[in-house]
């Protein structure tokens, strides 16, 4: 996996000088990956790939299922074998796990907040550069719906597109006429009149950015049966339920990936299991 290889290259470089000096080459043992705060488990296959890239003889054993919610403290996995290898992989594996569990845990909180409604929580492209596949994977593990992966696999006409194209009608007609098979045309609209114009031009997917619940209810009443409605902008755990209760079909949240706090995950070697 290229991202794992790059991460190890920047951390290990030509070798772990500390372990080479302090840890006997023959030393083996078992370490535990410990969860120190409640979390949705995510990233164990990536952690396994890190340990395997450092030393294919290491034995990585998950102790909980990917996507499971755990209470702290808990053991996510164990890894056994060369202690030099385990220590060389430690920080890179924990960096992957901390971020991915943080995203999955944050996402699960939003998904649970709208439980009982028909509104889906959706991720965005506000991901860490180079990490998009993993960030969106973590959102999916947390229960969100993945939106387009990039600019190439989804059409979303935002305010700047509309301005550059000469308005809603021109932009939508051009997009609908040239859209590849299977790609719907989504349009960001700022008023009921703009929404009507977008639908008349052929769109059936509207983005409603930074609208109040009262405004969203009006859009739902007018267009909810004619188009997919997605709310976005300023969504937090404290207001996402109110947004979902308006009847919108989707709520997209950039904070799932750009603001999720990392989970507290640590690696601890079992002293009794160390063998020189």
Which residues are designated catalytic?
A: 91, 126, 158, 188, 209
Closest to 65 measured CA to CA, from 34, 89, 44, 39: 44
Strands 250-252 and 120-122: parallel
Counting every residue written for the chain, the total comes to 276
CA distance 164 to 155: 15
Burial class (CB in 10 A: 0-12, 13-18, 19+), 263: buried
* Residues facing 156 on adjacent strands: 186
Answer for the pair 55, 119: CB distance below 8 angstroms, yes or no.
no
Answer for the pair 207, 228: CB distance below 8 angstroms, yes or no.
no
CA distance 276 to 183: 59
* Residues facing 265 on adjacent strands: 35
Rg, C-alpha atoms of the chain: 23
CA distance 88 to 54: 7
CA distance 181 to 264: 44
């Amino acid at each position: 996996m290229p991202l794992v290889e790059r991460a190890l290259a920047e951390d290990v470089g030509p070798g772990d000088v500390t372990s080479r000096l302090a840890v006997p080459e023959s030393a083996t043992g078992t370490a535990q990956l410990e969860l120190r705060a409640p979390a949705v488990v995510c990233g164990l296959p990536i952690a396994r790939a890190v340990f395997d890239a450092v030393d294919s003889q290491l034995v990585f054993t998950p102790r909980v299922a990917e996507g499971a919610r755990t209470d702290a403290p808990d053991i996510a996995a164990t890894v056994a074998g060369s202690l030099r290898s385990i220590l060389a992989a430690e920080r890179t594996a924990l960096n992957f796990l901390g971020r991915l569990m943080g995203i999955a845990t944050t996402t699960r909180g939003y998904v649970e907040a709208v439980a009982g409604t028909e509104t889906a929580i959706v991720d965005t492209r506000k991901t860490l550069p180079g990490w998009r596949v993993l960030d969106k994977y973590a959102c999916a593990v947390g229960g969100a719906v993945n939106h387009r992966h990039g600019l190439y696999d989804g059409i979303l006409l935002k305010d700047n597109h509309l301005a550059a194209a000469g308005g809603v009608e021109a932009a939508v007609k051009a997009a609908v006429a040239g859209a590849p098979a299977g790609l719907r045309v989504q349009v960001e609209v700022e008023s009921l009149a703009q929404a009507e114009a977008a639908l008349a031009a052929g769109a059936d997917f509207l983005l409603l950015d930074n609208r109040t619940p009262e405004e969203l209810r009006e859009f739902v009443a007018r267009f909810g049966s004619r188009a997919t409605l997605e709310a976005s902008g300023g969504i937090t755990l404290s207001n996402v339920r109110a947004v979902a209760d308006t009847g919108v079909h989707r709520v997209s949240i950039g904070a799932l990936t750009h603001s999720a706090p990392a989970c507290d995950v640590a690696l601890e070697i079992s002293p009794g299991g160390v063998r020189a």
